Chains A and B, each alone.
Chain A
Amino acid sequence: GQQVMQIPQYQHVQEGEDFTTYCNSSTTLSNIQWYKQRPGGHPVFLIQLVKSGEVKKQKRLTFQFGEAKKNSSLHITATQTTDVGTYFCARSIKAAGNKLTFGGGTRVLVKP
């Protein structure tokens, strides 16, 4: 089926270090969205990428959309304990009525 794969599933990061999580699709995407879900909470929208090769930054978070619009990445610099949570990418495909399909998420744990 039309899925998005997120890697890694789990990320243990030392506080202060950088890490990257990836989102891959076998089909071309209309757009990609990223969400963060804190433990016990609900998903919160972070960013939407629409253009090929697009890069957007939010403080220590850098989001990138691949040139072929089939993959995306989230890079976090100088990880803090507040970054703990699960990061989901969600893809939208025009042919599927623009519904969002969520990836399985990357669960981030931060070691102080």
Chain B
Amino acid sequence: NAGVTQTPKFQVLKTGQSMTLQCAQDMNHNSMYWYRQDPGMGLRLIYYSASEGTTDKGEVPNGYNVSRLNKREFSLRLESAAPSQTSVYFCASSERGSGPQHFGDGTRLSIL
């Protein structure tokens, strides 16, 4: 049982490049989330999807877009990467909005 799978695990980009981070869960969860975690900091919500077909902005959505491709998959896209987006990105899922969240292993993204 894989849980939440994120790809890639590591990525280095140049400023201005675009990239999509992939996330898939196999727990039949309704809600999915994207967070970023800067060094020594807590988690900040970028976007979330309460259910298939819906997406909403979180605390720090600027510079990002998301797609809830189906119930399993929720992708995060950086259209024009900036050094300020260097961070660790975590995807998470939960059965319902207020329930426990299950996290992937994260994507460590560096933008030069």
Contacts and interface: CB of A to CB of B under 8 A. Distances in A.
Grouping DSSP codes into helix (H, G, I), strand (E, B) and loop, the B interface class, with mixed when no group exceeds half, is loop
A30 B50 CA distance: 17
B103 A44 contact: yes
A48 B100 CA distance: 7
A98 B97 contact: yes
A103 B13 CA distance: 29
B45 A99 contact: yes
Given A42-B90, A42-B103, A43-B90, A102 B43 contact: yes
Contacts, number: 51
Contact of B43 (A48, A88, A97, A98): A88
Contact of B103 (A43, A92, A105): A43
Given A48-B100, A92-B98, A105 B42 contact: yes
Given A97-B97, A99-B48, A42 B105 contact: yes
B79 interface: no
Nearest to B90: A42
B43 A43 contact: yes
A31 interface: yes
A33 interface: yes
A45 B100 contact: yes
Contact of A104 (B33, B42, B103): B42
Interface string B56-92: 1011000000000000000000000000000000101
A42 B104 contact: yes
A24 interface: no
Interface in A40-95: 41-45, 48, 88, 90, 92
Interface of A: 30-31, 33, 41-45, 48, 88, 90, 92, 97-105, 107
List the 10 closest pairs (A to B, CB-CB), nearest first. A98-B98, A98-B97, A45-B100, A42-B103, A102-B43, A104-B42, A102-B42, A92-B98, A43-B103, A105-B42
